[in-house]
Amino acid sequence: MVTTILPDTEMIDKKTAETKSTATKPGATKYVYFFGGGTADGNGRMKDVLGGKGAGLAEMTNAGLPVPPGFTIQTEACREFMRNHGLSKEVDRQMEEALAKLESLQGQKLGEGENPLLVSVRSGAKFSMPGMMDTILNLGLNDQSVESLAKRTNNPRFAYDSYRRLIQMFGNVVLDIEKSVFDEIFEAKKKQRKTKFDTGLDAKALQEVIAEYKKAVKKHAKRNFPQDPHEQLVMARDAVFRSWLNDRAKHYRRINNIDDMLGTAVNVQAMVFGNLGDTSGTGVGFTRNPATGAKDFYGEFLLNAQGEDVVSGVRTPVPILELEKVMPDVYNQLRDITTRLEKHYKDMQDFEFTIQDGKLYMLQTRNGKRTGLAAVKVAIQMVEEGLISKEEAIFRLDPNQVVDFYVARLDEKDVKPEDVLTSKGLPASPGAVVGQIVFTADDAVAKAGHGVEKNPLILVRAETTPEDIHGMEVAAGILTSQGGMTSHAAVVTRGMGKCCVAGAGEIAVDERAREMRARGQVFKEGDWITLDGTTGRVLRGKRNLLPPDPENLAQLEHFMTWAEPFRKIGVRANADIPRDAKKAREFGAEGIGLCRTEHMFFAQDRIPHMRAMILTDNEKDRRAALKKLLPMQRADFIGLFKAMEGLPVTIRLLDPPLHEFLPKREKLMVDIASLASAGSKQKKALVEEYAEYGAKAAGDLKKVLPELLARVEELHEFNPMLGHRGCRLGITYPEITEMQARAIFEAAVAVDKEGIKTHAEVMIPLIATVKEMENQGAIVRRVAEEVFKEKGRHVHYLVGTMIELPRACLVAGEIAKEAEFFSFGTNDLTQTTFGFSRDDVNKVLPTYLAEGILKQDPFAAIDREGVGELVRIGIERGRKTRPKLEVGICGEHGGEPSSVEFCHQVGMDYVSCSPFRVLTARLAAAQAGASEKLQGDAGRTK
Ligand code: PEP
Ligand code: MG
């Protein structure tokens, strides 16, 4: 057994890139970093250069852990590859030099001699991208070396199996031959040999497979499978670099916000074999449970298998605790090493290992991906264990994962035994979800719909692969019948915070027939099922779901008490009704940053008055309609002020395009056209429909409908988002502003009278010029004075504006003379800065993202260079005029972590977001405050 001494803390050697052991020509870039024999050129801090895997291998090597030696070709080579569509001679030279060093250390030659050196060639970017890029194993095998391997291991079956795997991987990854070409050959051979399992093929059968694979290569790639190991290596390296740019890797980077320009490193490493027999094996694990955070040694392994068998989910592995029974020494050594790795990295580790003939090798270690629940639990444990400080702990939860705490649970009262299709699935990612079955990723995309709220679908697969990523993204939940807790489906959904049951072996999935069978029942596409990702159950039908577990929420609250002191900016909520305002306060909102008053008019009892107000063409009738709306608005505002108890309530005056309240033009035209031939039943229906517009009997329709159409046509706009909305409405119809201002101040005075403080901020939308602000501000202030005089009571209030147009940012200095606060409406500001229609951007956005024209959706995360720059200018100019100007944001960006960080950096006073994102925003704001402090503290960084 290998004994390893790993210091608990600093095990990074202090060598820098300039003092490396492999020679670099003066002035030339160091492309290749060697590791092996107890030392490495690189270290764990060099993730930018070596990628996560390369940095981890260097770090473990330096610490004296049993790591197969090799070298890492750094990310700059990948960037060079992207720029020049190839690599320079210097990369080849350094690689050959490192290979020679590896050969001499191992006492072997690549693919030559009695004991040939075989290597793996793997990608490894700075941020882990599980399964997205390509890997080639067993490189160095050819027609000669396979015989040497057979002889040396005394295991011809193993040798031929390794060779056929190489041809298959190389054929697919390097020579671009469809996987199915090889699968068909392999399956045909199994059929011929009447075996269900790969292991049923003996050495001879595998030799036949190899011969057919080689023929297939010749046919499809128009060349022979390369026999020269050095040529294999160069081609494999280039293919792995190329895989950085494959579609699924690009897609993964896009949804995970990873920069395309980072590039991947390539790791070339001496092969160790987990498939040499029953004293060999391979596995993966976590130092703590990545789903729950429990402090369990957690993982899976397979005896007599290669790494890909575990992660691909093809064979279902056994729990790692079983290893203790079959190889206690190796198990203890693994526990010892991984415990020390965790202490060293001060974080939960996700590791990969291989056992070759009873000897343990560590292949990888990295900070493990985990659910939000696990992130908080592990962070709290580690603070209690004295491993990390509270300050460090608050970075351990990704603000986007806060949502995990709010995921639904299955209502046990609604679980009848006959509905449970299986309870033996793996609880891969927590939460419960109800949805309709789809069997392919493409079907999921097609059926999910285009709205923000997707149709609830459950993607059911035997196993998922990286090619399914687009379907997984839109599905509400994922169910697989194969694979373990570290299978693709499990890892990816956990990262997405999406419910997943994996490896549900009692469920048979036939993707081709689009059918799922369980307990003798057949389920087809569109059938409803319920998943419980917290326990691993699958149930038929739509089961009842319950809101999240308060115990977990309590843990989050505890965690938040550590984060909160670092937060410098306020967090308000966008809420229009008292119920949402109360919810927001439960989540810790410190005010309402946006009340969209038009949402109050859509209620059944209000819309007729609103329509009457819009349809009239004279001020008198408009005032009459507004008078009816006034008490309703006042009651709404009273509710909001009471719910917020003196916290700021920012009320925006009416903003929507008016036609949104009226019947659709096209529908009216059709109804008018059909009137001539309509029977009495149809006419009766039309009378009912148009009653509120004055249709009392069938005879009225002839007059009412054309008049209505005429008014709808008058109000019709070609670009309503740039049209008669925002302050333009209040300027053309000042009585609307008057009514709203009156409702606000009468409400404030009434609440104040009850002894409850109020803090109203009246917000004028879509301002482009200071004159607009003057016009609307004057009305609001006049009405305020009138109400205060009438009621004999005065309350504090502010009048300010939304900054939603580029012009407003540029003339912010002028606008601030009139406006007492600014709230950046970044939805409209993004729309008008890019000239993208908010509602139609999805026609171009997918292509823009795929082509890399935009890195991310600017309506989700703030575009710092353009929109952000305008925000910066707006704040700077506004505060020059009014140094104490209150500044916030109320566009969707206010709840998105990277945008919240930006708002902190530009000195906003608060962000405002939907109630369910308040905690996310609070944590993001705290992290922004803490990282600023950490950077300021004697050069420490996060
Ligand atoms: C905005 O434009 O950012 C905003 C909050 O207003 P709305 O989304 O209502 O246009
Ligand atoms: Mg707006």
Summarize pLDDT for 562-621 with one digit per residue, the tens: 999 999 999 999 988 888 899 899 989 999 999 989 877 766 678 888 888 888 888 899
Structure confidence at residue 494 (pLDDT): 67
* Ligand nearest to the backbone CA of 912: 1
Rounded to the nearest 10 degrees, the angle between the axes of helix 145-153 and helix 156-173 is: 140
Kindly state the helix (H) or strand (E) to which residue 460 belongs, with its residue range.
strand 457-461
| CB-side neighbour CA atoms (13 Å) of 778 | 7
- Cα–Cα distances (Å) from 789 to 596, 633, 782, in that order, read 28, 20, 11
- Please check the confidence at residue 874 and state whether its pLDDT lies above 90: yes
- Please check the confidence at residue 870 and state whether its pLDDT lies above 80: yes
The first and second tokens of residue 906, run together, are 């530009």
Q: How far is C-alpha 224 from the geometric centre of its chain's CA atoms? A: 42
* Ligand nearest to the backbone CA of 871: 1
State the Cα–Cα distance between residues 789 and 307, nearest whole angstrom: 80
Ion ligand 2, residue ranges at CB < 5 A: 804, 825, 828
Residue 761 · residue 821 · CB < 8 Å: yes
Structure confidence at residue 20 (pLDDT): 41
- Please check the confidence at residue 181 and state whether its pLDDT lies above 50: yes
Residue 865 · residue 837 · CB < 8 Å: no
User: Which one-letter amino acid corresponds to residue 649?
Assistant: V
Tell me which residue has tokens 């002191």. Answer: 565
Rounded to the nearest 10 degrees, the angle between the axes of helix 47-62 and helix 75-84 is: 150
- Cα–Cα distances (Å) from 746 to 208, 538, 758, 775, 796, in that order, read 89, 55, 12, 21, 13
- Residues belonging to the chain: 942
The helix/strand/coil state of 593 is strand
Structure confidence at residue 639 (pLDDT): 96
| 601-610 residues labelled b (16+ CB within 10 A) or e (exposed) | beeeebeebb
Query: Which one of 654, 827, 830 would you pick to mutate in the ligand 1 pocket, going by the greatest count of ligand atoms within 8 A of its CB?
Result: 827
* Ligand nearest to the backbone CA of 823: 1
pLDDT in tens, 639-654: 999 999 999 999 999 9
Contact residues for 913 (Cβ-Cβ < 8 A; gap 6+): 571, 573, 574, 593, 892, 894, 895, 920, 921
Residue with the smallest CA separation from ligand 1 atom 4 is 825
Residue 196 · residue 190 · CB < 8 Å: yes
Report how far ligand 1's centroid is from the alpha carbon of 805 (Å).
Answer: 11
Q: Residues of the chain with pLDDT > 90: what percent?
A: 63
Taking residues 813-825, report their average pLDDT.
98
State the Cα–Cα distance between residues 559 and 391, nearest whole angstrom: 11
Query: Which one of 576, 592, 596 would you pick to mutate in the ligand 1 pocket, going by the greatest count of ligand atoms within 8 A of its CB?
Result: 596
Residue 776 · residue 652 · CB < 8 Å: no
Cα torsion 19, 21, 25, 26 to 10°: value is 20
State the Cα–Cα distance between residues 430 and 401, nearest whole angstrom: 12
Residue 690 · residue 705 · CB < 8 Å: yes
Residue among 170, 172, 146, 169 at smallest CA distance from 159? 146
Higher pLDDT, 724 or 903: 903
State the Cα–Cα distance between residues 488 and 313, nearest whole angstrom: 7
Tell me which residue has tokens 């917290």. Answer: 534
Cα torsion 918, 924, 929, 935 to 10°: value is 180
- Please check the confidence at residue 941 and state whether its pLDDT lies above 50: no
Query: Which is the closest atom of ligand 1 to the Cα of 765?
Result: 6
Query: Which is the closest atom of ligand 1 to the Cα of 596?
Result: 9
* Number of neighbouring beta carbons within 10 Å of residue 193: 13
- φ/ψ of residue 34, rounded to 5: -90, 150
State the Cα–Cα distance between residues 642 and 652, nearest whole angstrom: 18
| Predicted confidence band of residue 485 (pLDDT cuts 50, 70, 90) | low
Strands 821-824 and 797-803: parallel
Q: Residues of the chain with pLDDT > 70: what percent?
A: 93
pLDDT in tens, 142-162: 999 999 999 988 889 989 999
State the Cα–Cα distance between residues 289 and 374, nearest whole angstrom: 7
Kindly list the protein residues whose Cβ atom lies closer than 6 A to any atom of ligand 1.
594, 596, 655, 804, 825-828, 890-891
Report how far ligand 2's centroid is from the alpha carbon of 825 (Å).
Answer: 5
Contact residues for 541 (Cβ-Cβ < 8 A; gap 6+): 419, 528, 529, 530
Give whichever of 296-300, 367-371, 592-596 has the largest mean pLDDT: 592-596
Structure confidence at residue 402 (pLDDT): 87
Higher pLDDT, 326 or 5: 326
Structure confidence at residue 924 (pLDDT): 97
Give the largest CA-CA distance in the chain.
Answer: 103
- φ/ψ of residue 306, rounded to 5: -100, 155
- Please check the confidence at residue 10 and state whether its pLDDT lies above 50: no
Query: Which is the closest atom of ligand 1 to the Cα of 827?
Result: 3
Residue with the smallest CA separation from ligand 1 atom 3 is 825
Residue among 413, 281, 431 at smallest CA distance from 358? 281
- φ/ψ of residue 111, rounded to 5: 65, 20
Q: Report the helix count and the strand count for the chain, using DSSP H and E.
A: 34, 32
State the Cα–Cα distance between residues 519 and 502, nearest whole angstrom: 17
Kindly state the helix (H) or strand (E) to which residue 429 belongs, with its residue range.
strand 426-429
Report how far ligand 1's centroid is from the alpha carbon of 710 (Å).
Answer: 30
Question: What are 524's strand-pairing partners?
Answer: 515
Report how far ligand 1's centroid is from the alpha carbon of 890 (Å).
Answer: 7
Tell me which residues are annotated as active site.
488, 890
Residue with the smallest CA separation from ligand 1 atom 10 is 828
Report how far ligand 2's centroid is from the alpha carbon of 609 (Å).
Answer: 24
The first and second tokens of residue 224, run together, are 């022979």
| Predicted confidence band of residue 938 (pLDDT cuts 50, 70, 90) | very low
Report how far ligand 2's centroid is from the alpha carbon of 827 (Å).
Answer: 6
Sign for the CA dihedral angle at 491, 492, 496, 498 comes to: negative
- Cα–Cα distances (Å) from 572 to 410, 594, 891, 917, in that order, read 31, 8, 12, 10
The first and second tokens of residue 198, run together, are 């790969």
